[in-house]
Amino acid sequence: MANPGFFERQAHARRNTGLLVFLFLTAVILITLAVCLVGYLVTRSQSSALPFHQWLISSHGLTTAIAVVLLVGIGSLVRWADLAGGGSRVAKMVGARLIEPDTNDTEERKLRNIVEEMAIASGVSVPDLYVMDSETSINAFVAGYTPGEAVMVVTHGALTHLTRDELQGVVAHEFSHILNGDMRINVRLIALLAGILMLGQIGLFMIRAGFYSGARSRNRDGRAQAAIGLIGLALLIIGYVGVFFGRLIQAAVSRQREMLADASSVQFTRNPEGIGGALFKIGMKGGYLDTTSHASDMNHMCFGESARMKFSSLLASHPPVNERINAIQPGMLARLRSRLRDTEPGQNLRQDNQAQAAGRAGPGDLVNHLVEPARGRTRGSSSPIRSSLTGDTPQPPAKLSTRVGTINPQSEAFAAHLLNQLPATFRNLLYTRAGAIQLCYGLLIYDLAQNDQKDRLRLIPQHSLLGGQQDLLDKMLPALSTLGEAARFPILELAMPALRKLDPEERDTLLENIQKLVAADNRVSLFELALTTFLDRHLSDGAERVIPVKYRNYRQVLPAIQRLLSLFARAGTESTDDADKLYMDAMAGFGAGSEESRAEKISMRELRETLEVLNRLSPLLKPAVIDACGYCVTHDGRVDVREYELMRLVADQLDCPMPPL
C-alpha cells in the first residue's frame, strides 16, 4: 500500500477542516441562542410575555439572531481574508522579523543551515524564516497553506538557548507539520476563533460605554447606560464561553498532532536527545509569548504552549512536557534531570549540552549524530554530488509514493554533502536577489560554450537587477559545472527565499526572460520544462492559494493522466516502440483501454494545465499517479538525473514533497 501515512494524513487534515467548520457553526448557533435568551429577558417586560420559542421568530428575536450571526460571521471572514496572505501574514501578525537569506548573525545562520538541510532532504522548498526578537522564551511554529510557500517563525530564546541538536529537533518537529498538512488547518482555526471572540470584545466595549461613561452622565440617562453595561457583561460572558469551547476544539485537534510531530522529529533526525532536550528546556524556561496579543490565538500552532490559561489540563493544546519527553523515549526525562543535577554551579544547561556535543561537525551535520545504522556515515565524504542520484545509489523502490513526505538517511546524506560542497561565495550569492536571478539564467546556459553563453544572454533586455550580469555569472557557472546535474534542483531550492522577495512585476519579467532563454534553440529539454514549470508555479500570482479538491475518481482526469504518462514514457525509454509499451503498462492501472494512444509531444502550457488538474485530485488518489510516473522512470532499475528532475517536478506540483532519490 502506497505510503498511507502521508496521504492519509493529508486527507485527514482536509476532513478536519470540514469538521472545524461544522463545530464552528454549532458554536455560533449555541451562542446565538444564548444572546437571544439575554435579549428575551431584557425585552420581556416590554413585550407581551411571549414564550421564548415564539419570541425567537418575532421581529425582536429574528433581529437579534441575525445581528449575532452577522457579527460572528464578519469577524471570522475579516480575519480569514486578512490571513489569505499565507504564512508571511501570520508572521507579521505576531511581530516577527524576516531573517534575510544573507544574514551575518551566527545564530540565524545556524538556523538557516539546519532548515536548508531539512528542506533539501525532504524535497520541500526552503521556507522563509522569521524571528520574534523580543521573545526570550523557547518556541516556534510554521504557517502557510501549501508546503512550497510555508514560513517558519522561531523565538529569539530558541536561537540562543538551544544547542544545534535541540534546534534541529524543533525544526524537524515543525517540518512534520508542513509535510502532514497541519498548517492549513492551523491558520483557518485562527480565523474561526476570531469570530467567536469578537462577541466578547463587543461586550467589553459595551461594558466600558455603559458603566464608565454612565458614571459621568447619571443626570442624563443613567438607567439606559447601566442597561447597556449589563447587556455588555452578558455578551462578554457568552463570548468567552464560546471561546472556552473553541479552545476545547483547538486542544482536541492539536494534542494528537503534536505527539505525531514529536515522533516524526525523532524519525527524521534519529536523535531523540535533540527534541527531548528542547522540550526539557521549555519545561524549565517556558514557551509563553508575552510580547504579542495573539499568543492564545497561536497556541495550537506552536511547538509548546504559548499562552497562560486556567484549566490548562483541559484547554492546553499540547500534552504535558514530561509526557511528551517520556513518549519520545522512556527514561529520557530521568536522564535529563540527572544531567541537570550533575551540572556544576555557574554553568547553565546550554553549556552542559554544548560540552556533550563538542567535537561534532558544525553546519550541516544532520547525518553525523544518528542512532541507527547510518552512524558510520561521515559528513563531507569524497563521493561527488553528481553520482548520488545515479549509478551509486541502491535501486529505488517500485512505488516512489512511499518516499513522499519522508526523510531518509540517503536524502540526509545528500543534503549535508551538497551544502558542504558549495563554495562559500556561490552559496552567499544564492541568498541575494541578484544572485538568485543569475542562478536561474546560469542553470540554462552553464553547459554551453562560452560564446554561446554570451549570445543567449544578449536575448535578455538590459536591467540593473533582471538583466544578465556577467560578473556574477562568472562566479556561478564554474560551480554549476563542477557540482553537476544532480545538484540543479536542490540549488534552486536554496535560492527560492531570495526569489520570493521579488516584486510581482520583477517575477513576471524574470519568467519572461527565462522563456526567451529556453526558446533560443527552438527545442525544450526535460530540465527546461521542469525549471519553467516549477518557477511558474512558485513565483506566479496566487502561489500561496489553497488548491481545493475537485476530482474524486480517475475517470474525471483521465486525459490529464494520459498526457502526463505519455511524457514519462518517452523520457524513460530510447525508442518509440518501447515508449508505447511502457505507456500502455503504466495506463493499465487506471482502467484505460488498449485503444488509448500515446501523445507524441506535450507543450509547456499543456504540462502546466495537466498538473493543475491532477493537483485537484483527492489526496488518496495521488499516490497512484506518482507510482505510475515512478514505474516509467524505474522500469530499467535506475533513475537518471533528468528522470528524477521530472519526477520531482510532478511531486512538487501535486503538493507531495519528494526527497532526493
3-state secondary structure of 405: coil
What nine digits make up the cell of 421?
560542497
In a 10 Å sphere around its CB, with 0-12 CB exposed, 13-18 middle and 19+ buried, how is residue 543 labelled?
middle
Please state, in angstroms and rounded to a whole number, the distance separating the CA atoms of residues 299 and 141. Answer: 10
Cα–Cα distance between 191 and 80 in angstroms, integer? 5
What is the DSSP-derived secondary structure letter of residue 208? I
Please list, residue by residue across 579-600, b when 16 or more beta carbons sit within 10 angstroms of its beta carbon and e when fewer do: bbebbbebbeebebeeebebbe
Q: Which three cell numbers stand for residue 332?
A: 529520557
> What is the CB-side half-sphere exposure of residue 492 using CA atoms within 13 A?
25
Residues recorded for the chain: 661
Contacts of 490 (CB under 8 A, 6+ apart): 120, 414, 415, 418, 660
Instruction: Specify the DSSP class assigned to residue 288.
Output: -
- Please tell me which residue in 135, 149, 166, 174 is annotated as part of the active site: 174
Measured between alpha carbons, how far is 7 from 2 in angstroms, rounded to an integer?
8
d(CA 517, CA 444): 7
Tell me if residue 606 is catalytic.
no
Strands 151-155 and 128-132: parallel
| Residues with Cβ within 8 Å of residue 191, at least 6 apart in sequence | 76, 77, 79, 80, 83
**Identity (one letter) of the amino acid at 111?**
L
Please state, in angstroms and rounded to a whole number, the distance separating the CA atoms of residues 535 and 510: 10
The C-alpha cell at 44 is: 420581556
Alpha carbons 42 and 451: distance in angstroms, whole number: 86
Is the C-alpha dihedral spanning 402, 407, 411, 413 positive or negative? negative
Residues in contact with 115: Cβ distance below 8 Å, sequence separation at least 6, in sequence order: 126, 127, 129, 152, 171
Q: Are 282 and 325 in contact (CB under 8 A)?
A: no
Strands across the sheet with 151-155, in order?
A: 97-98, 128-132, 151-155, 140-143
Cell 519572461 sits at which residue? 512
Contact between 649 and 525 under an 8 Å Cβ cutoff? The reply is no
Burial-class residue 70 by CB neighbours within 10 Å (0-12, 13-18, 19+).
Answer: exposed
For residue 530, what are the CA distances in angstroms to 404, 608, 622, 643?
18, 10, 19, 10
Q: What are 450's three cell numbers?
A: 562560452
Cα 129 to Cα 3: distance, rounded to the nearest angstrom: 29
Task: Give Cβ neighbours of residue 480 (< 8 Å, ≥ 6 apart).
Answer: 442, 443, 446, 487, 488, 491
Helix (H, G, I), strand (E, B) or coil at 141: strand
Angle among Cα 353, 356, 361 to the nearest 5 degrees reads: 105
Strand pairing class (97-98; 140-143): unpaired
- C-alpha cell recorded at residue 525: 529539454
Distance CA 631, CA 572 (A): 9
Active-site amino acid positions: 174
